[in-house]
Amino acid sequence: MQKISPFLWFDGRAEEAMNFYTSVFKDAKIGDVQRYGDAGPGPKGSVMSATFQLHGQDFIALNGGPQFSFTPAISFFVNCESQEEVDELWNKFLDGGEPQGCGWIRDKFGLCWQIIPTVLGRMLQDKDRQKSQRVMQAMLKMTKIDVALLTQAYEQQ
């Protein structure tokens, strides 16, 4: 197990979330699942906590109750190698989710994800400030990131 892992607090939906996330990403697997017994405090047989892995990153999910919820202050940044990967992930998270803008999407559990093509970072870091500023302005108008529109802004004369 890695030294530091995201620990996600759910209100009774940890198992559903784990199953959803491991279905979204191709390189994913479910780890250990601990269920409540007779002593509770959750319903007997329901998931207390579970571990899963997405692209080699370990996560821990807990059914902790309604006391806490996710905010956009914490999000998961997903580097995508192509527009097809952006589209595929975006559409999966859109199922019950809510687009936020600039490549951010809140999933059906309230967790925020940034679905970002790797090329965006390279364009924003270009030494030609005019190019990088055009890309920034184009990105700020987007909900889901569109590589073709970013490229058009980048190459504009």
Contact 110, 17 (CB under 8 A): no
Instruction: Dump the DSSP string for 5-38.
Output: --EEEESS-HHHHHHHHHHHSSSEEEEEEEE--T
- 112 and 54 part of one domain: no
What's the alpha-carbon Rg for the chain, to the nearest Å? 18
Residue 157 has pLDDT above 80, yes or no: no
Residue type, 67: Q
Q: Which domain holds residue 97?
A: 70-157
Give the tens place of pLDDT for each residue, 40-54. Answer: 888 899 999 999 999
- Cα separation, 4 vs 92, whole angstroms: 27
Number of folded domains that form the chain: 2
- 43 and 33 part of one domain: yes
Q: Which pLDDT value is given to residue 45?
A: 92
Q: Which pLDDT value is given to residue 35?
A: 96
Q: Which pLDDT value is given to residue 42?
A: 84
Q: Which pLDDT value is given to residue 126?
A: 96
Q: Rounded mean pLDDT of 9-25? A: 97
CATH, residue 145: 3.10.180.10
pLDDT band, very low/low/confident/very high, at 2 (cuts 50, 70, 90): confident
Which of 68, 98, 115 is at the close of a domain? Answer: 68
